[in-house]
């Protein structure tokens, strides 16, 4: 995990960094206005371009805050709608975006909302007949017009923001020092055997940028579930897998699937890919080319919300969803839960 390589794009990165620093200065000096709201808002964000594990973190928070009236607010990346929208029985991934639709599926009692203008969206949430007691702001760390009470920065273990560079040289969309606005850093997708000495070293490295609470998490893969019936997959013997996904950083996913099938095949699409009828045909063709024996198509929860619209075409395919759960190393779960619950229960404007 050394310092990441750079390229000849340094001049563009310097210009981009100058624009970002000027923007922060204008907000810090009050020249550009920020807004506070009279309820606890938890922001889950990052400094990079994505793939750090925001979705499992939001799902973890929804579960943790289950005894409160919770709303999630996302931009709704790549959705076909505009403006403010609340999920209901008639909305789908095209209306909300992949992740918000997944939030709604797993936590139908929560108010799952999308809106490009975060401040205007919070105003509308607060004026609902049954308004939320707490709002989870999904991927809103760069949205400085809104000032959350508690911000969590996620950073991928394999690409720490402390060792990355600004776009287009690296994958940072914000400067490292922006982390000082956060209350917590969570290093995601860690190896489960991370040594205590490495944890201490990385904690000291990341604490230089602001937050003194640094936690370490990993993706806990659950048993695959059938897309059609919800039944649990039988992994007791050899199985040939076609891995199907459209996610930003699939490294840990590939490593896990390799444990199930060392020779698995893969169909990788861009992040937030909208599947088409032609894609389904290509998936069928790739599935037929798997070796004889027990075979399955394995996909992510995020991709599954897009694939469901093709049930009539995929009925004959054994497609399984691989659920994931956020877990913490070094007893970090207790610290995380305590910090979040203390913030929401003791919130004062």
Q: pLDDT tens digits, residue range 148-201?
A: 999 999 999 999 999 999 999 999 999 999 999 999 999 999 999 999 999 999
**pLDDT value of residue 77:** 86
Residues in Cβ contact with 91 at an 8 Å cutoff, skipping those fewer than 6 apart: 85, 101, 104
Q: Are 188 and 154 in contact (CB under 8 A)?
A: yes
Residue 277 pLDDT > 60: yes
Q: Does 51 show up as a binding residue in the annotation? A: yes
Q: Are 265 and 287 in contact (CB under 8 A)?
A: no
Distance in angstroms (rounded) separating the CA atoms of residues 322 and 70: 26
Q: Are 42 and 153 in contact (CB under 8 A)?
A: no
Nearest to 164 by CA among 44, 47, 23: 47
**pLDDT value of residue 348:** 66
The mean pLDDT of 243-268, rounded to a whole number, is: 94
Instruction: Grade residue 1 by pLDDT with cuts at 50, 70 and 90.
Output: low
* Chain mean pLDDT for the chain: 94
Q: How many CA atoms lie within 13 A of 56 on its CB side?
A: 22
Integer angstrom CA distances of residue 195 from 131, 141, 191, 249: 44, 30, 9, 23
- The dihedral built from the CA positions of residue 42, 46, 49 and 55, taken in this order, carries a sign that is negative
Distance in angstroms (rounded) separating the CA atoms of residues 5 and 23: 27
Q: Does 149 show up as a binding residue in the annotation? A: no
Q: What is the pLDDT of residues 29-52, one digit of tens each?
A: 999 999 999 999 999 999 999 789
Q: Does 52 show up as a binding residue in the annotation? A: yes
Residue 2 pLDDT > 60: no
Give percent of the chain with pLDDT exceeding 90. Answer: 88
Residue 236 pLDDT > 80: yes
Q: Does 5 show up as a binding residue in the annotation? A: no
Nearest to 248 by CA among 189, 184, 193, 206: 189
Q: Does 50 show up as a binding residue in the annotation? A: yes
**pLDDT value of residue 332:** 98
**pLDDT value of residue 6:** 52
Residue 207 pLDDT > 70: yes
The model carries a pTM of 0.92
Residue 26 pLDDT > 60: yes
Q: Does 54 show up as a binding residue in the annotation? A: yes
Residue 3 pLDDT > 90: no
Question: Going from the N-terminus, what domains does the chain have, and what CATH number goes with each?
Answer: 10-68+133-220+327-345 (3.40.50), 223-322 (3.40.50)
The mean pLDDT of 1-19, rounded to a whole number, is: 77
**pLDDT value of residue 86:** 98
β-bridge mates for residue 151, sequence order: 43
Q: Does 55 show up as a binding residue in the annotation? A: yes
Instruction: Grade residue 133 by pLDDT with cuts at 50, 70 and 90.
Output: very high
Q: Does 170 show up as a binding residue in the annotation? A: no
């Amino acid at each position: 995990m050394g310092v990441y390589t750079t390229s000849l794009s340094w001049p563009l990165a310097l210009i981009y960094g100058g624009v970002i620093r000027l923007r922060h200065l204008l907000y810090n000096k009050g020249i550009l206005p920020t807004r506070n709201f009279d309820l606890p808002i938890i922001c889950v964000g990052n400094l990079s371009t994505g793939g750090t594990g925001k979705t499992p973190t939001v799902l973890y928070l929804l579960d943790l805050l289950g005894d409160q009236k919770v709303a999630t607010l996302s931009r709704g990346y790549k959705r076909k709608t505009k403006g403010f929208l609340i999920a209901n029985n008639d909305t789908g991934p095209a209306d909300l975006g992949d992740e918000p639709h997944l939030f709604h599926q797993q936590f139908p009692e929560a108010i799952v909302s999308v809106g490009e203008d975060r401040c205007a969206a919070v105003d509308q949430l607060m004026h609902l007949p049954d308004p939320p007691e707490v709002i989870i702001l999904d991927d809103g760390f760069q949205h400085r017009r809104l000032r959350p009470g508690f911000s969590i920065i996620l950073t991928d273990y394999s690409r720490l923001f402390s060792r990355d560079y600004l776009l287009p040289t690296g994958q940072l969309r914000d400067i490292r020092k922006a982390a000082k606005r956060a209350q917590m850093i969570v290093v995601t997708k860690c190896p489960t055997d991370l040594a205590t000495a490495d944890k201490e070293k990385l904690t000291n490295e990341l604490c230089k940028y602001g937050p003194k609470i640094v936690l370490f998490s990993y993706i806990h893969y659950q048993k695959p579930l059938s897309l059609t019936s919800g039944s649990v997959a039988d992994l007791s013997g050899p199985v040939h897998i076609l891995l199907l996904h459209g996610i930003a950083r699939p490294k840990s996913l590939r490593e896990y699937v390799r444990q199930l099938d060392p020779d698995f095949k893969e169909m990788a699409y861009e992040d937030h890919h909208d599947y088409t009828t032609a894609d389904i045909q290509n998936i069928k063709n790739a599935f037929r080319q798997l070796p004889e024996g027990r075979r399955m198509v394995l996909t992510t929860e995020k991709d599954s919300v897009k694939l469901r619209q093709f049930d009539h075409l995929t009925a004959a395919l054994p497609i399984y969803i691989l659920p994931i759960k956020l877990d913490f190393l070094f007893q970090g779960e207790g610290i995380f839960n305590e910090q979040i619950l203390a913030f929401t229960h003791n919130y004062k404007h």
